[in-house]
Amino acid sequence: MNPFALVAFLVLLVLYVLRELRAYRALGEFGGPATASFSRLWLGKAIYSGKMNLHFGRVNEQYGDTARIGPRLLLTRDPALIRKMNAVRSPYTRAEWYNSLRLHPTRDNIVSFRDETIHNKLRTQMSHGYSGKENMYLEHDIDERLLQVLGLIRSKYVSTDTEYRPMDLARVTTFFTLDVISTIAFGKSFGFLVTDEDPFDYLKQLHVFLPAIMLFSVFPDVQKIMRLPLIQRLAPQATDVTGLGKIMGFARDVVGERFGVDKVVRKDMLGSFITHGLSREQLESETITQITAGSDSTATSIRMTLFLITSNASIYSTLMNELTTAHEENRLTRPILRDTESRTLPYLQACIREGLRIYPPVTGLLAKEVPPQGDVIDGRFVPGGTSIGWNSWGIMRLKRVFGQDVDVFRPERWLPGGGQSKEQIDNMEEVVMLAFGYGRFGCLGKPVALMELNKTIAEVSLPSFSLILRYQDN
């Protein structure tokens, strides 16, 4: 080997070792798995175990509210630290973890942009569409899709004395949220509920795609490789006839209808985005994010909350009593109760809050980066550039916030007389709503997701199904 090249190699090797040693020592005051101080192997294993939430929960239980899970990566379940990092004027920024959320092969989106100026501008442009202020069809569109769910159940999944007709709740709720987000965003449904099928294997591909995203989030070098032109040509394309590429093609086509001579004008989410200045290219990227991120997380919350309610006879009975009493007293609009009505039903709201707590829909790290000057966390200095991820599973099981029985689905904890004071309930509410993020990184889709939960949990649980379905016949 050339002597000069050898010297250069040795210098680079020494610099690398010194950098890694500095990183190792910088977070030495934080406990964590032994291998986490010098590699991401523990984190990769935890994610691919299928039990990432449990691994994360045990780490914070064993090593404290903020623990080390990588050479330059901390994991926290401290609500105060989460709020601090996400506050409007916080110097913290999105860490490289967010690079993995660029779903379009060549364009970033509101979730993956790390440039604060671009991200803040996009939030301002898109907030009106998500809030419903400029989407006059929002609640009506959700109602229409929910009626389709009920119609599908009646026509295909109601067992008889001679025939047992099981229904895959996970599949149907995913079809529902996919059709909801496509309808409220574009004014055009995918049609999953009409056919009760996934004709272009979107869900099948998503089950492969999402684990890949998790891989990219853990190993930043893989993210860089995936952005190489050759690799991007292998990524889903809008011309594909199946999977995410089909969704991309759908987004391209519906966005294209809003431009040109004979453009479609509609006061929906997409129309609001156009009004506030998003370009055609931006809209295609953002719509893909809406579909993949918005549908899966909401479907998870709906199916898990319904499962937890219906698997406990006492809880189910209590909720039924509240809903039937409200129905008999004409406090619920038929055929689908209004969002404002659902918010007046305390036990229903308690069930929804408890469902979000027991099974938070987003368990990814959502890591933020410590500002260049560093910060002090729990009396310990953390150098700039360190990433701090959140442990949503651990946050929602803090005994000092929710009580000792944190692993039990108990909606009563949210009600006066359920063992918590008003101050404690208010604190619980603030913490559980962290499931939707906080501050400048809060989820824009929160109003839509809560509206879907408010309506779906009630209507799929109501014993007055027959009244709703008879309405459909008329």
What letter would DSSP give residue 346?
H
**Which one has a higher pLDDT value, 243 or 281?**
281
The pair of three-digit structure tokens given for residue 473, joined into one six-digit string: 């016949």
pLDDT at position 466, please?
39
3-class state of residue 93 by DSSP: strand
Q: Is 122 exposed, middle or buried (0-12, 13-18, 19+ CB in 10 A)?
A: buried
pLDDT at position 214, please?
78
Q: Which domains does the chain have, with CATH numbers?
A: 72-473 (1.10.630.10)
Annotated binding-site positions for heme: 443
pLDDT tens-place string over residues 448-458: 999 999 999 99
What mean pLDDT comes out for the span 243-254? 81
169-186 and 295-310 are packed helices; what angle lies between their axes, rounded to 10 degrees? 140
**Which one has a higher pLDDT value, 103 or 396?**
396
pLDDT at position 439, please?
94
In the predicted structure, residue 22 carries a pLDDT above the cut 90: no
Least confident of 150-154, 289-293, 314-318, 416-420: 289-293
Cα–Cα distance between 339 and 342 in angstroms, integer? Answer: 5
Q: What is the end-to-end Cα distance of the chain in Å, rounded?
A: 85
What mean pLDDT comes out for the span 291-307? 90
Q: Please, which residues bridge with residue 73 across strands?
A: 70, 387
* pLDDT-based confidence at residue 472 (cuts at 50, 70, 90): very low
DSSP string, 124-179: HHHHHHHHTTT-TTHHHHHHHHHHHHHHHHHHHS---SS------HHHHHHHHHHH
In the predicted structure, residue 470 carries a pLDDT above the cut 60: no
pLDDT at position 456, please?
95
pLDDT at position 229, please?
66
3-class state of residue 67 by DSSP: strand
**Which one has a higher pLDDT value, 447 or 290?**
447
Contact (Cβ atoms closer than 8 angstroms) between residue 335 and residue 202: no
Name the pTM for this structure. Answer: 0.89
In the predicted structure, residue 125 carries a pLDDT above the cut 90: yes
CA 369 to chain centre: 20
What letter would DSSP give residue 330?
T
Percent of the chain with pLDDT over 90: 58
Q: Is 300 exposed, middle or buried (0-12, 13-18, 19+ CB in 10 A)?
A: buried
In the predicted structure, residue 249 carries a pLDDT above the cut 50: yes
In the predicted structure, residue 199 carries a pLDDT above the cut 90: no
Cα–Cα distance between 307 and 170 in angstroms, integer? Answer: 10
Highest mean pLDDT of the ranges 99-103, 165-169, 357-361: 357-361
pLDDT at position 4, please?
63
pLDDT at position 317, please?
93
pLDDT at position 254, please?
85
* pLDDT-based confidence at residue 251 (cuts at 50, 70, 90): confident
Amino acid at 458: A
Contact (Cβ atoms closer than 8 angstroms) between residue 243 and residue 202: yes
pLDDT at position 173, please?
94
| Cα distances (angstroms) measured from residue 144 to each of 138, 148, 180, 335, 453 | 10, 6, 9, 10, 15
pLDDT at position 471, please?
40
| Cα distances (angstroms) measured from residue 262 to each of 96, 201, 257, 279 | 42, 32, 8, 18
Counting Cα atoms < 13 Å in the Cβ hemisphere of 170 gives 3
* pLDDT-based confidence at residue 461 (cuts at 50, 70, 90): confident
The pair of three-digit structure tokens given for residue 207, joined into one six-digit string: 């089950």
3-class state of residue 210 by DSSP: helix
Q: Is 323 exposed, middle or buried (0-12, 13-18, 19+ CB in 10 A)?
A: buried
Cα–Cα distance between 153 and 165 in angstroms, integer? Answer: 10
pLDDT tens-place string over residues 55-95: 999 999 999 999 999 999 999 999 999 999 999 999 999 99
pLDDT at position 149, please?
93
Cα–Cα distance between 151 and 148 in angstroms, integer? Answer: 5
What mean pLDDT comes out for the span 390-405? 97
Amino acid at 232: Q
**Which one has a higher pLDDT value, 220 or 373?**
373
Contact (Cβ atoms closer than 8 angstroms) between residue 32 and residue 65: no
What mean pLDDT comes out for the span 224-230? 65
Q: What is the mean pLDDT of the chain?
A: 87
Contacts of 284 (CB under 8 A, 6+ apart): 104, 107, 248, 251, 252, 255
| Cα distances (angstroms) measured from residue 414 to each of 352, 411, 427 | 10, 6, 11
Cα four-point dihedral sign 44, 47, 49, 54: positive
pLDDT at position 474, please?
43
**Which one has a higher pLDDT value, 283 or 180?**
180
pLDDT tens-place string over residues 135-151: 888 999 999 999 999 99
Contacts of 17 (CB under 8 A, 6+ apart): none
In the predicted structure, residue 444 carries a pLDDT above the cut 80: yes
DSSP string, 358-424: HS-S--S---EE--TT-EEETTEEE-TT-EEEE-HHHHTT-HHHH-S-TTS--GGGGSTTSS--HHH
| Cα distances (angstroms) measured from residue 121 to each of 96, 117, 125, 365, 389 | 20, 6, 6, 24, 24
